[in-house]
Structure 1
Amino acid sequence: MAFAAIKSAQHLPTPFQAAAQKIASIFVSLESSVRSSGERMANSIANGTLVSAVHSIGQKIRSGLVNAVNSATNT
């Protein structure tokens, strides 16, 4: 998904290309973090600590979205 956004950013006006690429890069990082959190969540289910894992995933998503907005507005 993020790679498609980077590719389609090439068709945007130049000032928007950098912002779109930064946002796509952040989402690639966010995807990796969520995947890692998902693996921890699976382990947490087995250990009975699911609430903590869900909270951690929520924090990662929030952090990634805040970074995406900040990055886009600082271009």
Structure 2
Amino acid sequence: MIVKCPTCDKDVVWSATSPFRPFCSERCKLIDLGDWAAENHRIPDKAPIDQALSEEYLAELEQEFIAQDNDFFKH
């Protein structure tokens, strides 16, 4: 099977003899990795964040944490 390199669109044979598949080379693989690290590629979040709900949830978690008789806040 032949696929296109996601970085440069060169044809790549999809087989065990292609060590960088689906990329054509280590260079293209590293370019793609760098794009993910720089957040140029992201999986879209379909649900917007409800800021009020998030703050309420964090407040509840904080109260639960404080209510657990732990030593974190006692020092």
Question: What is the TM-score normalised by the length of structure 2?
Answer: 0.28
For the pair shown, which has the larger CA radius of gyration, 1 or 2?
2
Greater fraction helix = 1
Higher relative contact order (CA 8 A, sep 6+): 1
Question: What is the TM-score normalised by the length of structure 1?
Answer: 0.28
